[in-house]
Structure 1
Amino acid sequence: MNLTDILQQAGGLESMAKELGVSPGVAQQGADALLPAILGGFKKQIQGGGLEGLGGLIGQLGGGGLLDSVLGSQPTPVGQGNEVLGQIFGSKDISRTVAGDAAAKTGLDAGLLKKMLPMLAMMVAGYMAKQGGQSPGGGLGGMLGNVLGGLVGGGSSAPAAGGLAGSLGGLGKLIDMNGDGNPLDDILGMAGKMRG
């Protein structure tokens, strides 16, 4: 099961669709386009500070409550999601570039995708925190490794249209233009070209 399916089963995509006034199909299309970059950002955090560092960061930002905030009946406090994005992307320029890139691929409005980004970041971080609390012994760091390892390692066994796993398997082709395994530096480069 890929992460888009997991978030859909948890009710996250439906909650996001209702809050943004779009159909569940549009929410899923946006999630499929945005999640690879979000997971790439989490993966970069692990490479920089290790799993325990990322687990601690997610805990400070709200832990499992992040997912609950999106699922709740009140409007989502997207400030928390923007904090998560700030930690994994480093700048608003990258968030804008990710939304613009997803808009070009999907035909969805970039403004709508910008609203989806913090909500999706909250769902992913909250989901990982909740799963981390349930994994015996490994703690959040171990669980993050399992979730991200499984999702980011989507590889060639994933079907071409296999949702997130397939998207992540092809992340290098989509965003990692210089082949160094880190798509965010390439996203930054694209943002620089857009401004220039």
Structure 2
Amino acid sequence: MADLVSVLQQTGALSSIAQQLGVDEKTAASGAGALLPAILGGFKKQAGGGGGGLEGLAGVLGGLGGGGLLDAVLAPGATPADQGNDVLGQIFGSKDVSRTVAGQAANSTGLDSGLLKKMLPLLAMAVAGYMAQQGGKSGANAGGGGLGGMLGQVLGGLTGGGKAASQGGLGGLASMLDLDGDGNPLDDIIGMAGKLGGR
């Protein structure tokens, strides 16, 4: 997840999140590194499950606020976490998953789970907004297919999935995370957060 953490640093999102939570950027980066696998896993589930593939995910991102989500995180003042909670609700489907992800990240980093619970919606907004902005730049004149394809490239590039183009229509998303394929995204997402403790 180092690539995505550095992208969030470059956009200024990580600094903005750290400021809002009253922590230094190093602490925010540590928390982000622990939370991002689950967030990206949620986007993968959205694209790969009954979510209509990458074009469906592109539509979801647009409906949630698109690139404006990242702008909201970067704007001065408090970020409206409700929008981030909407993103989490869409990709996780349950507040229980969000709580579990925050708890697992707290165990692996030693950070306070309350802090991580506050960070989770802000991170989800930043990632969703970044993907929507990158997708919009590439696919603005190409319709939904262009945006969907770009989302696959963005997600694949963020996670180092260079050989993703041939992975069955999911683009970069297919090689993003190696989920166990048992049809239960909840334990996959919890497992992803848990695996961080063994690094």
TM-score scaled by structure 1?
0.80
The corresponding residue for 2:194 is none
Residue 151 of structure 1 deviates from its aligned partner by 3.4
- Structure 2 portions without partners, runs of 5+: 163-174, 192-199
Q: SS at the partner of 2:77?
A: coil
Indicate if the aligned counterparts of 1:94 and 1:187 stay in contact, CA closer than 8 A.
no
Corresponding residue for residue 32 of structure 1: 33
Q: What corresponds to 2:96 in structure 1? A: 93
Partner of 2:149: 142
1:63 aligned residue: 66
Shift in Å, 1:70: 0.4
Aligned equivalents of 1:112, 1:151: Cα separation in 2:
25
Correspondence for 1:194? none
Aligned partner of residue 2 in structure 1, secondary structure: helix
CA RMSD between the two structures: 2.3
Q: Are the counterparts in 1 of residues 42 and 189 from structure 2 also a CA contact under 8 Å?
A: no
Q: What is the deviation of 1:187? A: 5.4
**Cα displacement (A) at 1:133:** 1.3
How far apart are the structure 2 equivalents of 1:186 and 1:126?
26
Q: Trace 1:56-135 onto structure 2 (pairs within 5 A).
A: 56-135=59-138
One-letter identity of the residue aligned with 2:11: A
**Is the 2:100–2:190 contact (alpha carbons within 8 Å) kept by the matching residues of 1?**
no
After TM superposition, the score normalised by the length of structure 2 is 0.79
Distance 1:183 1:147, change over 3 A: farther
Give the whole-Å Cα distance in 2 for the aligned partners of 1:50 and 1:153. Answer: 20
Structure 1: stretches of 5+ with no match in the other structure: 156-167, 191-196
Once residues 114 and 149 of structure 2 are traced to their aligned partners in structure 1, the CA distance between those partners, rounded to angstroms, is: 35
> Which amino acid is the alignment partner of residue 181 of structure 2?
D
Mark the CA change 1:15 to 1:188 in structure 2 (over 3 Å): closer, same or farther. Answer: closer
Contact 1:51 1:141 in 2 (8 A): yes
Structure 1 ranges of 4+ moved more than 6 A: none
In 2, the alpha carbon distance for the partners of 1:18 and 1:152 equals 26
Moved more, 142-151 or 4-13: 142-151
Post-superposition offset of 1:139: 2.9
Instruction: Note if contact 1:135-1:143 (Cα within 8 Å) is conserved in structure 2.
Output: yes
Alpha-carbon distance, 1:91 to partner? 0.1
Residue 181 of structure 2 corresponds to which residue in structure 1?
A: 180
Deviation at 1:152, TM superposition (A): 4.4
Residue of structure 2 in register with 1:161 after alignment: none
Per mean C-alpha deviation after superposition, the further-off stretch among 76-85 and 45-54 is 45-54
Aligned length: 172
